[in-house]
Structure 1
Amino acid sequence: MRMFNCLKLGTNLLGAGMLAAIVAAPAHAEDTAKVAAIVKGLDNPFFQTMQKGIEEQAKANGVNVSVQAAANMGDATGQADRLTAMAMQDFDCYLVNPISVSNLVQALVPVAQKKKPIVNIDSTIDPEQAKAAGFAVSTYIGTDNVAAGALAGEEMLKLVPKGSKVALVAGIIG
């Protein structure tokens, strides 16, 4: 039942419509989950909104949540250090939003050793690196960025005249 709360929180957080596919039975009041969440730097408004969404959905679903964030979008080591500290505490599951595909892998080893669910949100953890470290992510909830980019490109083609010059602004590498 505690896995239900973790997956429900992660699913609700991102507004995904797949909750019914994940949920086998409703959680009971006496089965309140304790969830750890680690997100990217709150110097980015998107991740401020993510933190707010996690906290609001936890409250709405009767889940106790502790949210930690990297100091900034480039603080991969600090984010991993925060997760390492959270991994030593007694949480039922972990929501992780890594800065890079690898920065949280080692910090998740003790989580996996305790057989706690790991819900990877928004930015993926490299599955090969996770496997090499001896664990697998329980589930990933996020956007297919390749498909989203294709949709954005198709829409842009409708909006600009043929032959227009378009600039591509990259996000965080990795």
Structure 2
Amino acid sequence: MNKLLTGIVAGAALAAMAGSALAQEKTLAIVVKGLDNPFFEQINLGCQKWNNENASSGYKCLYTGPASSADEAGEIQIVEDLLTRPDVAAIAISPSNAPLMANLLKKVAPKIPVMTIDADLAAEDAALRKTYLGTDNYLMGVKFAEHLQKLKPEGGTICLQLGNVAADNINARAAGTRDALSGEKGIERLTGQNGWTEIDGCPVFTNDQIDLANRQMADTFTANPDLDAFVLEGGWAQFAPQAYAQVTDQVKAKLDSKELIIVAGDTLPPQMDALKAGRSHVQVGQRPFEMGYRAPSVMMDLIEGKAVEPVIYTGLDECTQETVDTCIAK
């Protein structure tokens, strides 16, 4: 009986120790704009790979965000809640609305390291975060323009499709596209510079809604049969392959002849399928998996007081119909 009792006590002690260790595990949180966007799921996969490789580190990577990418207030609430949790040791945020997120950080004044991932705060609010990990979004916009210039050297009419009005990353891409096409800095709208003119009704803003993105494309093509170029500054419409195929069916002959050029952001599998099928001409891809995989390690460096660069770029992949099988970084 004594041996049995001793075993029970020992077992209880081990369980308590395990529970204590679990309770001491610290959280490295990644908050994205919305869980409905397959781009962000790649960040999650990177986060989970880090967890698998660092199970005994005492830290875990937590991937979260609002259910909908259109829920700016929901993202703010999630961040605010995480900042009050004692287990959260650092947080990486992809702000849907950069000014709104900056206001929260000013109000709360977090005592834990805060960084941005995928999307940054506005330049004037950069001091509120320790570092930014992700794409050089301005350069991404420039790359869109460089490919457009090769395909349409004389310029033409163009429509830019953007995300949220206050999304700093998408706005930076649009700025890069306009500056590179016009040959000038700070162009707010293309009005004939180097032959490029933005059509009436554009840019269009998807608010990160995939269905809306496809409707906007269809409406733009119908209302502007002579359109020369459409730029998806993000991949939204292409994240719904069937709907995107139906939209591009109405202009497929023009795409094949390159009378109409489609350049788009990101290189997720359905987007590469669209490129192979001739439903776009260029895909400039970010590296979201790398963002999710690297973010926890960067947060640990910040926690430990190590020197971290204020900006860490993860690179781009440029894919055309000619290079579609070899363009993705391994």
Q: Distance in 1 between matches of 2:133 and 2:106?
A: 20
Deviations 1:93-141 (A, max 9, x none): 1111111112333544587442x1112111112354576xxxx211111
Of 92, 102, 107 in structure 2, the residue corresponding to residue 105 of structure 1 is 102
Q: Distance in 1 between matches of 2:138 and 2:62?
A: 31
Q: SS of the counterpart of 2:30?
A: strand
Q: SS of the counterpart of 1:167?
A: strand
What amino acid is aligned across from residue 159 of structure 1 in structure 2? Answer: L
Structure 1 equivalent of residue 143 of structure 2: 151
User: Are 1:84 and 2:80 matched, yes or no?
Assistant: yes
Contact persistence 1:97–1:120 (CA under 8 A):
yes
User: Are 1:44 and 2:29 matched, yes or no?
Assistant: no
RMSD: 2.7
Q: SS of the counterpart of 1:83?
A: helix
Structure 1 equivalent of residue 298 of structure 2: none
Structure 2 equivalent of residue 123 of structure 1: 119
CA separation of 1:95/1:154 partners in 2, compared to 1, >3 Å: closer, same or farther?
A: same
CA separation of 1:110/1:53 partners in 2, compared to 1, >3 Å: closer, same or farther?
A: farther
CA separation of 1:34/1:106 partners in 2, compared to 1, >3 Å: closer, same or farther?
A: same
Q: SS of the counterpart of 2:88?
A: coil
- The alignment of Structure 1 onto Structure 2 pairs a total of residues equal to 139
Contact persistence 2:35–2:64 (CA under 8 A):
no
Q: Distance in 2 between matches of 1:170 and 1:87?
A: 30
CA separation of 1:161/1:107 partners in 2, compared to 1, >3 Å: closer, same or farther?
A: closer
- TM-score of the superposed pair, with normalisation by structure 1: 0.67
Structure 2 equivalent of residue 67 of structure 1: 63
Q: SS of the counterpart of 1:162?
A: coil
Q: SS of the counterpart of 1:150?
A: helix
Q: Distance in 1 between matches of 2:35 and 2:106?
A: 25
Runs of 5+ consecutive residues of structure 2 not aligned to the other structure: 1-24, 167-330
What amino acid is aligned across from residue 96 of structure 2 in structure 1? Answer: I
Structure index of larger Rg: 2
Structure 2 equivalent of residue 57 of structure 1: 50
Contact persistence 1:100–1:123 (CA under 8 A):
no
**Higher strand share goes to which structure?**
2
Contact persistence 1:34–1:93 (CA under 8 A):
yes
Structure 2 equivalent of residue 4 of structure 1: none
Once the two structures are overlaid, the 10-residue window that deviates more, 73-82 or 100-109, is 100-109
What amino acid is aligned across from residue 91 of structure 2 in structure 1? Answer: Y
Q: Distance in 1 between matches of 2:129 and 2:53?
A: 25
Q: Distance in 1 between matches of 2:155 and 2:123?
A: 40
Once the two structures are overlaid, the 10-residue window that deviates more, 79-88 or 104-113, is 104-113
Q: SS of the counterpart of 1:34?
A: strand
